[in-house]
Amino acid sequence: MARSRQNSPQDHPVFAPDGRPILFYLWGSNDEQPGWRLSPGQREELRNKITEHGGLICEHPENADTVIVKEEGVQPLTERYARLRTAYVEPPQFVGACIRNRRYAHKPVPQRPMSGRPDGRPRTPFTAEDDRHLCEYLATTIPFAENGGRQSEKLYRGLEEDGQMTRTYRWAKRHTWQSWKERYKKRKHIFDPIIAELVNKNPPSQDRKGQFPYSRLVNKRNAFMRFQEQQRQEEEEEEEEEEEEEEGYGEFQPRVDEDGYIIPDDEPPPHEQEAPRRNARRDTDPGPRGRIASSVEPRGRARTQTGPPQRSHTPPGEFEAHPEEYYE
């Protein structure tokens, strides 16, 4: 059957499906990101194709229904315009594909997976066996509650990974790591006594093999050891100061003479003092035989001798040998 004029493709251009022209923006018209720009030749070719099939070219990307950009810029610009309901980002091949298919259409925006349980999905209930597995796991990894960590996110994330990688813990795949954590948190008062009983029956190894590698006691233990070391150093310093004071007191103890008076520091001790000087001349007097009468006149006296020499009346042996001592 012949197609009527109203149903012919010429009456419905590709880029004006509802009678309104689609607005395109060709990236690079306003000196945008250099790596994403379309070359002048590409922009000219695309402009001709778009306008021939009912579309229009706008001057700003905010006004466009579709932004045409090089392949490298599609993903970044898609994220930039993701919140705009009418702005799509497409590569240059999009224009030719629409013309060939005689239809202006974009691919649906893909959705990414999100964690969590979809609404309406039944929640897997916990069983007594699940609780037993959880208590046994905690008795192995964190046997002592004071170490901390039984509500650690790392612990239960590790449990989830173990459930996917090992047959021993494949029971962990029944619930998410968040569910296991909440299960212990809500029933901690019930699980802790059970865990303690399991630890008593099967004590952990001395090398802590299989245990959670983190412990709250490590910080406390290190702080206590640092405190003890600091105290030990302070005690040693005090002992050294006391020894120095005792040695110093013995060295600088004041000297006292036989009458109880303190001897000055600048006075040498008795064994170093010089003996009192005696009259060397008198001690070395050779006696009467060695004495000779001196005719030397005493110094300091001006005297004129006019008569015969006068005999000295000084007792023999006193000043005849050394008359100068008389005037000292």
In sequence order, what DSSP letters do the residues of 248-277 get, joined into one string?
HHHHSPPEE-TTSPEEPTTSPPGGGSPPPP
- pLDDT attached to residue 217: 66
**Separation between Cα atoms, residue 108 and residue 223, nearest integer Å:** 59
- pLDDT attached to residue 237: 75
**Separation between Cα atoms, residue 256 and residue 275, nearest integer Å:** 20
**Separation between Cα atoms, residue 64 and residue 21, nearest integer Å:** 11
Q: Where are the beta strands (DSSP E) in the chain?
A: 23-26, 56-57, 66-68, 88-90, 255-256, 262-263
Would the pLDDT of 184 be above 70?
yes
The residue extents of the domains of the chain are: 23-101, 134-201
Would the pLDDT of 45 be above 60?
yes
Would the pLDDT of 175 be above 60?
yes
The third-level CATH classification (topology) of the domain covering 23-101 is Rossmann fold (3.40.50)
Would the pLDDT of 285 be above 60?
no
Is 50 exposed, middle or buried (CB count within 10 Å of its CB: 0-12, 13-18, 19+)? buried
300-320 pLDDT tens trace? 555 555 555 555 555 555 544
Would the pLDDT of 31 be above 70?
no
